A = this chain, B = another copy of it.
Amino acid sequence: MNNVKTLKKFISISFKISPSYFFLLIFQSMLGTGQILVNVILPKFLVDELVGGRNRDNLIRFGLYIVLSNVVFLFLNKTMKRIMDVRNIYMKEKLNQAMADKIMKVEFACLEDPYYLDLKERAVFACRTMSALENLIGSVAKVLNNTVTILSLLAVMFTLSPVFVLLLLLTISISIIAQKIFSKYQLGCYQELIPINRRYGYYVGVCYEGKYQKDIRLYNMNQMLTDRILYYNRKIYEWAKVFNKKNGAFQGFIGIINDLQAAIAYGYVGIRVLSDKLGGRIGIGSFTMYVSAAINFTTAATDLGRNIMAVIQMLGYLQPFMEFMSLPDEAKREGSVPFEGEVESLRFENVTFHYPKSEQLVLKGISFEIKKGEKISIVGLNGAGKSTIVKLLCRLYKPASGTIYINGRDIYEYEFTSYMKCLAAVFQDYKLFAFSVYENIKGGEEEEEKGEHRERVASLLEQVGLKDKIEELKSGMDTLFGKQYDPDGIEMSGGQSQKVAIARALYKEASLIILDEPTSALDPLAEAEIYEHFNQLVGDKTAIYISHRMSSSVFCDKILVLDGGLITDFDSHKKLMEREEGMYYKLFKSQAVNYQI
């Protein structure tokens, strides 16, 4: 995406958020120019009067005009600034929100693919750290302002002499060309800095983060981290030295051009005051006006150059943002058949899968079928592809080839939202949110009769063994999860959180339930309790368990044994235990041997 396209897309996104914002921006630019014009033109009359007639009334009148018009512009400018400050906050947060929204809706695969992950990181960096959105809006507004100012001052100076204007334009062209060359160099420099900065940021971030501190202390990582930070520190410092040297030279050159412009302005206008060689003589008042116009003109021109560069720089930062915003949404991607009823059958047909940008097949053409109400356990070594099956079922990833059928239809034919309602999962790395316990469990289900929801949540809390814990809280299930934002919030241990996550999955009235290591943080009694309740809770729903605790397979109707992306067995515990050369027997035995009483 090139800069012009990015700018267009940015403006169209912003315009959709608030069209009035743009008219306000334009009006604000005109105001700025108005004030400059008043202060360029009005003093001419005052000075003429001072040098000439010195008529007290006239002097007072002109003085008053200057003061009054400045007061009016001051008032208008301040009012506009006030309005725009609030509007800018609004725009910035709407754009932030658009980004947040996009991340939540984008195809999930994008969020685990290093390329898109990097894109997302850079987009978030642009939004949050660089405030690129605000800065871009601000810079575009300034470019607008500068342009209007330049055009009107050109008009003023044109009344003196077109040659004068041409001379000034010439010097400005030189400085613009110089700026363009330099900004290309600058961009290159910044590109070099990015990877250094990211690494520096990572190591500083590790030092800042609480969760790394135990290992830092125990393994004496302090010095290693400091060394790494110092190393990148030095790199940044060296980069800055080189860059600032070049930058200094460039700024010096621009300074000379600026001085040249001033010299031309003073010189040409001075000559016009002193002699009539270049045209009719002008008065001191006009001298003041034209010099002031020329000075303001060069300032505006320099500003314009700088602001255009800022726009380009911000567009560079925002490019990942724009690219990310253009990614396809998950829900919209495909499927239009609404999912209705329950999961009656589930079938994998010759499904292969590899992660994006990787060639290694995680699943090598697997086929199996699960019927309604069956409890299936998936077992296998680390990396055998167990969690991948879950991700495919949840439509977080799409198979590379082969098809997954539910109720006889490819799952990608179902409309996304209704499909997601048919299944519930507790992932290994499940997350809870800083909502109340009640809201965490209820999730985004529509609000019906509140009482009914609450009753169901209460009954689930009892079933997962959290009833007492929740009841002793002042606000019960309305207590916020986490103490971060509410001193009355509840901090839960890993085991307790896991129970809430299980309750959340059960709350969703899905007919297919998937549990990926759901009891890893629970003690033996809590684990036994959960399993006991599960069979009761899950009832006639279809369920898939994944666990390294082989004992959980005993409860299941059938066990799917995965080995290196292939299904080596799919049978009942009893049958599998009869085959002593099988993977399942080996796995089960390796744990069971220590449990013989």
Contacts and interface: CB of A to CB of B under 8 A. Distances in A.
Nearest to A395: B217
Contacts of A597: 577, 588-589, 592
Interface string A208-232: 1011111111111111111011100
Nearest to A93: B233
Contacts of A429: 211, 214
Contacts of A1: none
Most buried by B among A71, A210, A218, A222: A218
A74 B254 CA distance: 11
A259 B68 CA distance: 9
B222 A105 contact: yes
Contact of A89 (B225, B236, B284, B592): B236
A229 B551 contact: no
Interface in A180-205: 195, 198-199, 202-204
Interface string A112-133: 1010010010001000110000
Interface stretch (A28-36, A399-407, A520-528): A520-528
A79 interface: yes
A112 B508 CA distance: 34
B54 A214 contact: no
Tell me what chain A mostly uses at the interface: helix, strand, loop, or mixed: helix
17 contacts: A50-B284, A56-B274, A63-B266, A71-B255, A78-B252, A96-B204, A97-B229, A108-B214, A202-B485, A212-B433, A214-B431, A217-B394, A382-B496, A520-B521, A522-B548, A524-B591, A595-B596
A473 interface: no
A51 interface: yes
Contacts of A267: 63
A594 B82 contact: no
Interface stretch (A161-169, A297-305, A343-351, A438-446): A438-446
Contact of A444 (B206, B219, B229, B549): B219
A273 to B, nearest CB: 7
Interface stretch (A14-22, A242-250, A536-544): A242-250
A484 interface: yes
Nearest to A445: B220
Given A220-B443, A427-B215, A431-B211, A548 B577 contact: no
Nearest to A215: B431
Nearest to A380: B523
Contacts of A384: 523
Contacts of A228: 435
Interface string A479-503: 0000111010000011110000000
Interface in A543-597: 548-552, 554-555, 577, 586-592, 594-597
A337 interface: no
Contacts of A258: 74
A398 interface: no
Given A96-B204, A210-B112, A443-B221, A270 B521 contact: no
A86 interface: yes
B430 A97 contact: no
A576 to B, nearest CB: 12
A25 interface: no
A67 interface: yes
B587 A382 contact: no
A75 interface: yes
A361 B233 CA distance: 45
A338 interface: no
Contacts of A158: none
Contacts of A117: 210
Contacts of A551: 591, 594-595
A540 to B, nearest CB: 22
A394 B504 CA distance: 36
A74 B236 CA distance: 27
A82 B259 contact: no
B236 A93 contact: yes
A178 interface: no
Most buried by B among A204, A258, A508: A204
A207 interface: yes
A75 B251 CA distance: 9
Most buried by B among A81, A208, A220, A266: A208
A563 B504 CA distance: 29
A425 interface: yes
A120 B210 contact: yes
Interface in A309-324: none
Contact of A82 (B247, B262, B423, B445): B247
B483 A213 contact: no
A174 to B, nearest CB: 17
A592 to B, nearest CB: 4
